[in-house]
Structure 1
Amino acid sequence: MSGPIRRPGSENATRPVGGTEYSWCRAVPGGTGITVIALLLRQPPDMRNLQNALEKLHNYHPILRSKLRFDAPTNTFSFLTLPPLAASHVQIQTFNSSSTAEILRSTDDLSGEPHRIILEHELNNNTWTDPERWIDGEASVFFVSLYDLGDGECDSRRCVVTFRLHTAACDRTAAVTLLRDFLEAVTAEGDGGAAEEKAEEISPAIEDLIPTGKANKPFWARGMDVLGYSLNALRFSNLDFVEAESPKESQVVRMQMNRDETRKLVASLLLHECDGRGMKLWAAIAAAGMISAHSSKNLPEKQREKYAVVTLMDCRPILEPPLISKDFGFYHSGILHTHDLTEEETLWDLAERLNSSFTTLKNSDKHFTDMPDLNFLMCKAIENPRLTPSSSLRTALISVFEDPVFDASTGQVLRDKGVEDYLGCSSVHGVGPSIAVFDTMRDGCLDCMCVYPSPLHSRDQMQGLVQSMKAILLDT
């Protein structure tokens, strides 16, 4: 339990982090849980307008102006929220064209999109590496950078704006809201816009909002489940590791489908409903990832392997009281489920099994009852990496979201605001899956950011896996 918010004599407000937030505070120093949004702009923004827009976001979303506070003697974390006036000036780190060019040259993918390379750079820029070295035991949760691409005339030179956040303060739903509020605020005149209204304090932790009775589990059952998760993890199969000893970083491969390809996939989803329940996109993506990984090993035809999938769901609508997308924080929960696979498996048979398994577990409130178990095991894996295969800290083959982000405004509306493209995802190289999929439906086109730990997996390996996934999804 995170407990109530305490208000000291000043206008600052503090509250201890909840259990899920604490697990992210433990994971981020190792490199998992850094959320980044990168916007490719047609030309540099007006700095005063940019500053005003960011200050509006600070006013509306208090967690953005919060600091994580670490207490070394007790090894605990809390959020310290500053009043709007005390945190009104947002620092923007700027990189000129020379500095940006050096970053773009440092990648092993010289043909990659520049804003995707900068996104990778930001995913591995870890402000939170060592809490014991934070200034006065505190660290901000929100950072903004501006990169000059230097690839055009002064009046049309492209640039990249990035937002980097601690995932304990911002899950995927909050990141999407942040992007939309920013675009509204940066184009608003005067003091209007989406961020005009002020919120005074951050929302409680997810554990404090679980409906009564939904998280109940007998002590013996919790112990058995933790033991079961631990023993089963030793039997999970993984995508082959390329280099398990070297320090890791997060890299990204992008999987895109055009409108016709997306329509074909959606039609297949509708055709393969599971017992009258709609087949969801995540199940098809996860099934394609499992089949691709299994096929890449060239195993005997009948050899069976067990793979773990984590399906993440936004719990805001089912909390008590319900929250909305403008309530910032981490309010997702994951359900871990495992499935056996052979070379004979077909996409839609496996997707139906995944979809049915998740639905059953969700109906049993596993996203609430197992939340402390999975948080505990995540922290134990961080403390004891040797408990995972090759000390890789891999806890599943793939993680996916129950629902994609739907964005019907990507086209002309964004172009009118000077945004050519945007990307968003979180890092995974500390502890987590071999591949984390962040999927978006943009103007009827599927766009997936696939994040993986390198050099545990190589770019060539993951590009091949993602290409295979796309081919499997469209081979219907």
Structure 2
Amino acid sequence: MSEQQHKSRPVGGTEYSWCKAVPGGTGITVLALHLTTPPNIPFLQNALHSLQLSHPNLRSKLTFNSSTNTFSLTTPPGPHIQVHVTHHSSTSHLITNDPLVTAFQVVVEHEMNDNAWINPDGTLVENADVLIANVYGLSEAEWAVVLRIHTAACDRTGALSCLRDLLGMMKRGEDCGGFKEEWEISLGIEDCVPDGKTHKPFWARGVNMLGYSLNSLRLANLDFENTEVSRSSQFVRLKMNSDDTSRILSGCESRGIKLCGLLEAAGLIAARTSKNLPEGQWEKYSVATLTDCRSLLDPILTSGHVGFYHSAIINSHDIQGGENLWELAIRTYTAFDNAKKNNKHFSDVADLNFLMCKAIDNPGLTPSAALRTSLISVFEDPVIEHTNHLRGDIGLEDYVGCASIHGVGPSIALFDTIRDGELDCACVYPSPLHSRKQMEDLISDMKRILLDGCKEEEA
């Protein structure tokens, strides 16, 4: 295959920040299926080839030019992914004796921390695939199918769209799925922002940058438990039944807010409660709300358009204890909604990318060099899935979609799903900066706070 057959472009600003973040451990996206029916490996590989044909970003390789300090996405014309299989006898060494951590969870955490984009000596891997596929035997009757993706090439929306395509192919038993072959590499988000949306006068940009920097010095954090040991990403689950989920969603709808505002409010209350501070003592916490910009771009993109097209809006909130959940939820969501109406999800992209890269290069600029940029991050909209029918069709027992955050990022990243009417959040955190017990207690308190909100809504 000649070099002329490849297509290549330099990464955009947002993609560059992820290229900087992933070597440190933030931005390794994992989609994992827990199956009770053995996967057909040749079929799975053909199905992934179909996905790579229809989504050029998924067959791209990430290259780094050390002389210019730049990254590029280089896309070969044909699919090339190989599924790697680890049998149960080899997987068993990963499995812990902790009864609170399932074999499936252990595999997901292992994948989040398996950084294929950096060498053991810390240098970047040349021509690294952005998509990796693994199958693990969890037991004699359970398997995990895992896709690991570099976030610069594919965000949560694109990854879940591909997962739906893959599940559809697995259900039909067909590996083509009717996909058409695409050859054009996707554009970066900066190339698709409508004219005028990113404009900000020079002095306004300077004031905003100064504001972000000074504000960060006043922010409180969740208590750090170990700042010395090297970190990895772990997760716990926040689950609620369909009745409680329905009450929560109804409460949000009646107040004109989205679920993200409620989850942020519960996280803020739980974080402050964990410190046992006297009521009335103020603390300022930062929250990051991630919004999918596809429908706002020019041209408008669909959820099936693979690339990174999310933007973050960061707000800070003063918490003094004794806050009402719903009142705080309205406050957090209104702050986000107003910022979005003022186009801050576009106008502040370059500023936040710059600050993110500065934090990566200078961790000492963050408290305890912890690289924490906010208390919590939440997506504007949850993923809504209906998968009960796949239990019998392909033996789908469970699935998780999340990403690592133990480099630069929040203390808690919520990847929320409404699955068959039930709220299911994968809550990712950096360990041992935060311990599993600390996070289990925090998420348990968040659930209690949400359940109290359900009772209030019912009353």
Q: TM-score, normalised by structure 2?
A: 0.95
Alignment partner of 2:86 out of 95, 101, 120: 95
1:235 paired with 2:218, answer yes
Alpha-carbon separation, structure 2, partners of 1:375 and 1:464: 32
Alpha-carbon separation, structure 2, partners of 1:400 and 1:133: 31
1:343 paired with 2:343, answer no
How far is the alpha carbon of 1:267 from its aligned partner?
A: 2.7
Alpha-carbon separation, structure 2, partners of 1:189 and 1:40: 18
Once the two structures are superposed, residues 44-98 of structure 1 have per-residue CA deviations (whole angstroms, 9 ceiling, x without a partner) of 21222111111111111111110001001111000000002xx3x4211211112
* Preserved CA contact (<8 Å) 1:36 1:426: yes
1:159 paired with 2:143, answer yes
1:42 paired with 2:36, answer yes
Alpha-carbon separation, structure 1, partners of 2:235 and 2:107: 11
Alignment partner of 1:60 out of 29, 34, 54: 54
The corresponding residue for 1:410 is: 387
Per the alignment, in what secondary structure is the counterpart of residue 152 of structure 2? helix
Per the alignment, in what secondary structure is the counterpart of residue 399 of structure 2? strand
1:372 paired with 2:368, answer no
Give the number of equivalent residue pairs: 451
1:448 paired with 2:442, answer no
Alpha-carbon separation, structure 2, partners of 1:165 and 1:82: 17
Structure-2 change in CA distance of 1:190 and 1:43 (3 Å): closer
Alignment partner of 1:13 out of 7, 20, 30: 7
How far is the alpha carbon of 1:133 from its aligned partner?
A: 4.1
Structure-2 change in CA distance of 1:191 and 1:312 (3 Å): closer
How far is the alpha carbon of 1:469 from its aligned partner?
A: 0.4
Structure-2 change in CA distance of 1:58 and 1:468 (3 Å): same
How far is the alpha carbon of 1:441 from its aligned partner?
A: 0.5
Alpha-carbon separation, structure 1, partners of 2:271 and 2:175: 51
The corresponding residue for 1:303 is: 281
* Preserved CA contact (<8 Å) 2:104 2:138: no
How far is the alpha carbon of 1:221 from its aligned partner?
A: 1.1
Residue range with higher mean Cα deviation, 301-310 or 96-105: 96-105
The corresponding residue for 1:264 is: 247
How far is the alpha carbon of 1:190 from its aligned partner?
A: 5.2
How far is the alpha carbon of 1:43 from its aligned partner?
A: 2.2
The corresponding residue for 2:297 is: 319
Pairs within 5 Å for 1:328-339: 328-339=306-317
Alpha-carbon separation, structure 2, partners of 1:38 and 1:191: 19
How far is the alpha carbon of 1:129 from its aligned partner?
A: 2.4
* Preserved CA contact (<8 Å) 2:233 2:429: yes
Pairs within 5 Å for 1:71-470: 71-84=65-78, 87=79, 89-105=80-96, 109-130=98-119, 133-134=123-124, 137-151=126-140, 157-189=141-173, 192-194=176-178, 196-271=179-254, 273=255, 278-407=256-385, 409-470=386-447
Alpha-carbon separation, structure 1, partners of 2:139 and 2:412: 33
How far is the alpha carbon of 1:418 from its aligned partner?
A: 2.1
Per the alignment, in what secondary structure is the counterpart of residue 103 of structure 1? coil
How far is the alpha carbon of 1:268 from its aligned partner?
A: 2.3
Alpha-carbon separation, structure 2, partners of 1:327 and 1:258: 32
Alpha-carbon separation, structure 1, partners of 2:60 and 2:224: 38
Per the alignment, in what secondary structure is the counterpart of residue 93 of structure 2? helix
How far is the alpha carbon of 1:248 from its aligned partner?
A: 0.6
Letter in 1 for 2:100: S
Once the two structures are superposed, residues 336-355 of structure 1 have per-residue CA deviations (whole angstroms, 9 ceiling, x without a partner) of 00010011211111111111
Per the alignment, in what secondary structure is the counterpart of residue 198 of structure 2? coil
Per the alignment, in what secondary structure is the counterpart of residue 467 of structure 1? helix
How far is the alpha carbon of 1:264 from its aligned partner?
A: 2.1
* Preserved CA contact (<8 Å) 2:50 2:176: no
Alpha-carbon separation, structure 2, partners of 1:172 and 1:364: 24
Once the two structures are superposed, residues 311-368 of structure 1 have per-residue CA deviations (whole angstroms, 9 ceiling, x without a partner) of 0000000000000011101000000000100112111111111111111100000000
How far is the alpha carbon of 1:413 from its aligned partner?
A: 3.2
Letter in 1 for 2:88: S
Q: TM-score, normalised by structure 1?
A: 0.92
The corresponding residue for 2:456 is: none
How high is the sequence identity, in percent, across the aligned residues? 53
Once the two structures are superposed, residues 237-294 of structure 1 have per-residue CA deviations (whole angstroms, 9 ceiling, x without a partner) of 01000001110100000011111111221232234x1xxxx21101000000000000
Residue range with higher mean Cα deviation, 39-48 or 328-337: 39-48
How far is the alpha carbon of 1:414 from its aligned partner?
A: 4.4
Alpha-carbon separation, structure 2, partners of 1:302 and 1:129: 47
Letter in 1 for 2:29: T
Gaps in structure 2 of 5+ consecutive residues: 454-459
* Preserved CA contact (<8 Å) 2:291 2:311: yes
